Chains A and B, each alone.
Chain A
């Protein structure tokens, strides 16, 4: 009896031991501890969503904006898997950091949706929301993610797009905004991480086919062009590039703004620039002219990016809505140079309002002045004096070749613009490059940026004539991209009419025009992106 009892106890114990001993759990991705730039931190990456072509089309077709987007992109040919990449890169001060982004992989039975496919690396525009994630297609506010998914991934391109350091999971604490070296490096890092990830995705046979296209809009236009330069320098082949509406000629653009042509969105861009360049160059906060930002906005430099909505930052007077500069014009007084002093005083005057012509850009520029204001007059004068001493070849009057300043500027911010201006150095694209934008862009001036670069590279056979999706007389839609130009102008006319209907708010023509201006920069984006895809499809 005792023997049997012992045996049964042993059996029970064995059963328990078997349970404990077999406590192997299921597996998940490998997490890398390497801090080497370009390392994929989590392999395989997390797939946020998998949408087949029909589901993607239905999702986009559920909103009016999505329907309009589909009219441009065409219906999805492929489904898209949206992967969330985490990778290592370096910040603006060369500090090691983790960043994140999207890998969008085409799926489906169509022959162009699997196997070796071309890669489009896309750089997004300026974000104010620190929590944004371009990979998160489930977020309705992720319109740029939806655009590139529908435009590229659903048409058979693998898409790689960083969120940029300073956003999403990045703990960098600032964003290296318009820092050409950092941002191009980060683009190369996510590209390396994506190439590592591709063979480990659910569709592991879908990998790059050797063709690499670069695109980007707004800030991303600058990033795409800087990345082209960096990849060419590294010997990493690029097939073609399409930078769009980017502030490429930063020195010229900065001069234009500081001399009064204040662009829409400048009170957002200025804090981002100051924070980025202070970390990269440590020459913003110790300027001889004193602090850049006025006492009305003492924390402006650290405001962006933020998880607080930008409208809240404006409403709580943490940033001004439009008043970049003081509405009281500074009097410039340079000893021994009365002529220059008078010239600069006049050049820094508030642009007049033109009540008879709402389309006159001076009305927009005028809105960039007020009180309280963001940037101190002393700082503005210091910048302007430097611009006079080291003039840019593009602003105010374009010189032949529109070159950068002959010598490196002395004023901190302007020196940073000079360093990150894509005219800096001997480089010119050696792969087909198409720049695109809209000529009336009030946010990133077309002529000062795209026009300047086109003139600067006029002799470069690889740089195609810049595409203006909104040509105005004496120009008219013409050439390969004429249908896109017509479509853009038609959409703008339809929008103008819509704003004047009850459904659109019943605005007056002047108010409707104001809305058009406010939305112009964003409105150009899908049309230029379509032009980019059309351009890429030729290779």
Chain B
């Protein structure tokens, strides 16, 4: 009994590995490249300084609306258990809403969509898989760098009304750290399914120019993303 008790944990571990991991011979054949495609849900945790500049009442701020877009990534195996991922999303239309007073003057502001911008936000991640490649489940973590640039910046009619006229927006590009945690599952053959959760630091200086009147703020978008994707290895 004593021996049995002592040997039970190694047996369970062995059974567990047997459930999720194939022979090492299979791992050696694992392809070096994969492409992933899926959905990319972005949950913003916006924090911004109040907008400053001429004719702006106190407390006028901005917030970004959550969104979902297409996720695409290329992953390259570097060494055993180490991958590098270049993640992209289809440039989504991020909607910016007013945050602050109900009205600016008599113009509705709080929670009113005032502007929008598309952004492209490639993230380069170095990922570490906890288990060998012959395992069906592949939990991983990663760290890297995110670059975000904004384009198609527009203000809505409501935004123009709040800002005092047709407004030109500019948002500086952002470079910041990114991190991810997730898990992959070997579905069949070259196909894998993935779920991951990522965070990145995206900070931008926003400048609004309305008929020569310039107002500014600094925005930290604080995006947290949930990704579900299907990967093809080759």
A and B together in one complex? yes
Taking Cβ atoms with an 8 Å cutoff, the residues of A that contact B are 1, 4-5, 8-9, 11-12, 15-16, 18-20, 22-29, 31, 42, 44-52, 54-55, 79, 84, 86, 136, 138, 202
Q: Are A19 and B211 in contact (CB under 8 A)?
A: no
Q: Are A25 and B169 in contact (CB under 8 A)?
A: yes
Q: Which 10 A-B pairs have CB atoms at the shortest separation, nearest pair first?
A: A46-B211, A19-B120, A29-B211, A28-B168, A23-B151, A52-B106, A47-B164, A49-B105, A26-B154, A55-B106
Q: Which of B118, B122, B170 contacts A16 (CB 8 A)?
A: B122
Quick one: closest A residue to B155, CB to CB? A26
Q: Which of B44-52, B85-93, B131-139 contacts A (4 or more CB under 8 A)?
A: B85-93
Q: Are B211 and A24 in contact (CB under 8 A)?
A: no
Residues of A within 8 A of B169 (CB): 25-26
Cβ-based interface call for B62 (8 A): no
Q: Are B153 and A25 in contact (CB under 8 A)?
A: yes
Q: In the assembled complex, how far is the CB of residue B81 from the closest CB belonging to chain A, in whole angstroms?
A: 22
| Alpha-carbon separation in the docked complex, A5 to B232 (Å) | 11
| Alpha-carbon separation in the docked complex, A181 to B178 (Å) | 66
Known A23-B151, A26-B169; judge A48-B74 contact (CB<8 A). no
Cβ-based interface call for B100 (8 A): no
Q: In the assembled complex, how far is the CB of residue B233 from the closest CB belonging to chain A, in whole angstroms?
A: 10
Residues of B within 8 A of A8 (CB): 35, 74
| Alpha-carbon separation in the docked complex, A52 to B88 (Å) | 46
| Alpha-carbon separation in the docked complex, A498 to B170 (Å) | 54
Q: Which of B149, B168, B209 contacts A19 (CB 8 A)?
A: B149
CB-CB contacts below 8 Å: B60-99 with A = 72, 74, 86, 88, 90-91
Q: Are A26 and B211 in contact (CB under 8 A)?
A: no
Q: In the assembled complex, how far is the CB of residue B174 from the closest CB belonging to chain A, in whole angstroms?
A: 14
Quick one: closest A residue to B151, CB to CB? A23
Q: In the assembled complex, how far is the CB of residue A77 from the closest CB belonging to chain B, in whole angstroms?
A: 15
Cβ-based interface call for B212 (8 A): yes
Quick one: closest A residue to B121, CB to CB? A19
Q: In the assembled complex, how far is the CB of residue B122 from the closest CB belonging to chain A, in whole angstroms?
A: 7
Q: Are B120 and A44 in contact (CB under 8 A)?
A: no
CB-CB contacts below 8 Å: B152-189 with A = 152-155, 161, 164-170
Q: Are B152 and A22 in contact (CB under 8 A)?
A: yes
Q: Are A45 and B165 in contact (CB under 8 A)?
A: yes
Quick one: closest B residue to A20, CB to CB? B151
Q: Are B210 and A46 in contact (CB under 8 A)?
A: yes
Residues of B within 8 A of A45 (CB): 165, 211
